Amino acid sequence: MDAPMATAISKPDPAKVPLPFSNRVVALNSAPPDFDAARDLPEGFLEFLAPLHAALTLRQRALLARRGYALAEAHAGGSSRRQAAGLFAALGGDHKRLAD
């Protein structure tokens, strides 16, 4: 009995296949053009959101600055495990596992 011959299956080269939506910009995380917070959000929501937004925005900016500093240090060759542990702790991790 003759064994079936293996055949080559050709798949398109992923580098040559266009990505979906590559011909247009897709807006993400944006409200519709006609959005009005006072009209479209529940009553009292903006008053609830304002202090929360202010606090979290400050924290996000501080973490972003520390990340930028740590990244620059790492690229300059000056990053140590202790610095990485400090950044990890600032982000809420268990820094004792990483410290020297």
Range of the domain at 86: 51-97
Per-residue pLDDT, 99:
46
User: Rounded to 5 degrees, what angle do the CA atoms 66, 71, 73 make?
Assistant: 95
Give a yes or no: residue 30 inside a domain: no
Provide the number of structural domains found in the chain: 1
Give a yes or no: residue 23 inside a domain: no
Per-residue pLDDT, 72:
82
Give a yes or no: residue 86 inside a domain: yes
Give a yes or no: residue 61 inside a domain: yes
Contacts of 36 (CB under 8 A, 6+ apart): none
Give a yes or no: residue 13 inside a domain: no
Give a yes or no: residue 80 inside a domain: yes
Per run of 10 residues, the mean pLDDT along the chain (length 100 residues) is 61 66 68 90 93 92 87 74 66 55
Per-residue pLDDT, 54:
92
